[in-house]
Amino acid sequence: MVLVIELVSLGPFYFWIRKQLDLQQDSRIQFWLQRLSSRCASASGAYFEVGCLVELRQGSGFIEPFVEVVLLDQQGEALYHSDLSRGDSLSQPAVARKIPYLRTVASARLSPVRDGGLRIYWTPFIGKDGSEGGRWAAAFDDARLRASLSWLQEGVKTNALQFALFGVGAGLLLAMIVAWHVLSPLQRMLVGMDRVAAGKFDQPLPVERDDELGFLAIQFNSMAARLKDLDELKEKLIHSITHDLRSPMTAILGYAELMMGGTEGPLTETQVAYLSIICKNMNRLAGYINDILDVAKMQAGKMDFDKKPVSIVAIVESVVELLAVTAREMNVELQLQSAVGVPRVMADVDMLSRVVTNLVSNAIKFTPKGGMVTISVSRADPINILVSVKDTGVGIPEDKLETIFDKFYQVSETKGAARKAGTGSGLTITKEIIEGHGGKVWVESKAGQGADFKFTLPVLFDKPAEWTAT
């Protein structure tokens, strides 16, 4: 784009230079013709032709391509004529000749005149008595005149191209400087927006300038601080509400279970069914509340893990056995693949069981009837254990893989495929627990091709040479 602008702007400049060169050439020839007329006018008699020829020879030294010089009378008749193609001579024809293109000159008001491939210049011939005796006309080969300027025009073209390239380079350098000056703070602002979108409000943008971008950074920091305050207020509100709900919920659940136990007398089948529904939903609500409180505690760093040497294979097997009934009810096949000699890990058994339960139950929930969930345990590398929970369900869009572990986040494209709804905190808790154990959790998936949730945990080395579980 810069090059196009440069060429467009230099085009008129180049043609203007060419025009100036043509005008200078015209002025030079016109001056020579006026000097010829003056030299011839100062001569008389036999010296007339000699004086004119001397000036013609001098003129031919710097103006080569002229064809002929003619002295015209007032009526346009040729009185004297020099045809340089036949040698230097001025002659007075016996019969005055009429030359068509010179008639054009005789009636012209401006000089030069272009006619028949010739460029014709003229100047008045003033005699010694001061009266105009006619006109001198000089005809030049127009093509040869233009060719005589070609080297100058090529030089102008070369200089114009060099100037254009220099302008392009300077323009690009200036554009890079401006882009860096403008885009650098915008890039930092985009990074800051990504952090805010991820719920990280504690990294303000640096304010390094006093212009509009600096003001924008100040406003962005103010917005991020306000969002941080609102997020903290939301967390406090959720924490307060869940704590306030826990006591009455526990009381309702306790009285319902007492009634189901017959402490208040015999119950009808309908009453037992109603109390069962109450207990089931209260337990479900208790799970939600516990999840919310656990997320808050983990993110605040207040969750304590009771770590001890455990067999990850044994934990996975117990979870698969526990969820096998649920999988059969939903017509989903559970398959466990465990490598031989998987080492132990240092972990909290309850928390690790919770992680595996979350992942396997999610896989069952999003796998259609007749599908399969495969749980595998193996060595990822010499120092890590890899656990994979892979399903044949609806999968997760690739653009949602980074946010799937965010707090309370649920993928809108897959919510309709779940057999039962959740709070969206299970994967957040999973991530916090695994990272609290020094591991890493991630998901590999494509929409419609199932999901494969994986996590790693560091191997526990009881002895330098020990590699197998006890």
**In this predicted structure, what is the pLDDT of residue 61?**
53
Does the structure show a pLDDT above 60 at 464? no
* Highest mean pLDDT (candidates 109-118, 119-128, 163-172): 119-128
Distances, alpha carbon 263 to alpha carbons 194, 249, 255, 282, in Å: 57, 20, 10, 20
Instruction: Provide the total of helices (H) and of strands (E) in the chain, helices listed first.
Output: 10, 12
Which of 23-32, 86-95, 438-447 is predicted with the least confidence, judged by mean pLDDT?
86-95
CA distance 358 to 429: 9
Encoding tokens for residue 126?
Answer: 């003033």
pTM for this model (two decimals): 0.50
Q: What is the pLDDT of residue 303?
A: 73
Q: Is the pLDDT of residue 334 over 90?
A: yes
Residue with tokens 């020099």: 82
Q: How confident is the model at residue 470 (pLDDT cuts 50, 70, 90)?
A: very low
Q: pLDDT by residue (tens digit) across 26-53?
A: 787 778 777 777 777 776 555 566 666 6
Does domain 2-151 fall into CATH 3.30.1330.100? no
Q: Which CATH fold topology does 212-299 show?
A: Helix Hairpins (1.10.287)
Task: Inform me whether the pLDDT recorded for 319 exceeds 80.
Answer: yes
Name the band, by pLDDT with cuts 50, 70 and 90, for residue 163.
low
Lookup: tokens for 204: 């303000």
Strands, E, within 162-315: which ranges?
Answer: 308-310
Contact between residue 286 and residue 253 where contact means Cβ atoms under 8 Å apart: yes
**Where does the pLDDT of residue 118 fall: very low under 50, low under 70, confident under 90, or very high at 90 and above?**
confident
In the structure, what pLDDT confidence band is assigned to residue 213 with cuts at 50, 70 and 90? confident
Is it the case that residue 69 has pLDDT exceeding 70? yes
Residue 468 confidence (pLDDT): 46
* Residue type for position 397: P
380-424 pLDDT, tens digit each: 888 999 999 999 988 888 877 877 887 766 666 555 555 555 556
With bands split at pLDDT 50, 70 and 90, how would you rate the model's confidence at 88? very low
Q: What pLDDT is stored for residue 47 in this prediction?
A: 59
Across the range 123-134, mean pLDDT stands at 72
User: Cα(38)–Cα(35) distance, rounded to whole angstroms?
Assistant: 5
Q: What is the mean predicted confidence (pLDDT) over 126-134?
A: 69
Question: Where do the structural domains in the chain lie, given as residue ranges?
Answer: 2-151, 212-299, 308-458
The per-residue pLDDT for 114 is: 73
What burial class does residue 432 get, using C-beta atoms within 10 Å of its C-beta: 0-12 exposed, 13-18 middle, 19+ buried?
buried
* Average pLDDT in the chain: 75
Q: What percent of the chain has pLDDT over 90?
A: 17
Give yes or no for residue 123 having a pLDDT over 50. Answer: yes
| Residue 160 pLDDT greater than 90, yes or no | no
What does the pLDDT look like over 349-364, one tens digit per residue? 999 999 999 999 989 9
Give the pLDDT band (50/70/90) at residue 72.
Answer: confident
DSSP one-letter string for 344-413: PEEE-HHHHHHHHHHHHHHHHHTSPTT-EEEEEEEEEETTEEEEEEEE-SS---GGGTTTTTSTT---TT
pLDDT, tens only, 245-298: 777 878 888 888 888 877 777 888 888 888 888 888 888 787 777 777 777 777
Check residue 259 and give its pLDDT.
84
Of the pLDDT bands very low, low, confident and very high (cuts 50, 70, 90), residue 54 is: low
pLDDT at 236 over 60: yes
Q: Looking at domain 308-458, does it have CATH number 3.10.150.10?
A: no
Rounded to an integer, what distance in angstroms lies between the CA atom of residue 45 and that of residue 37? 15
- Residues 102-113 have a mean pLDDT of 55
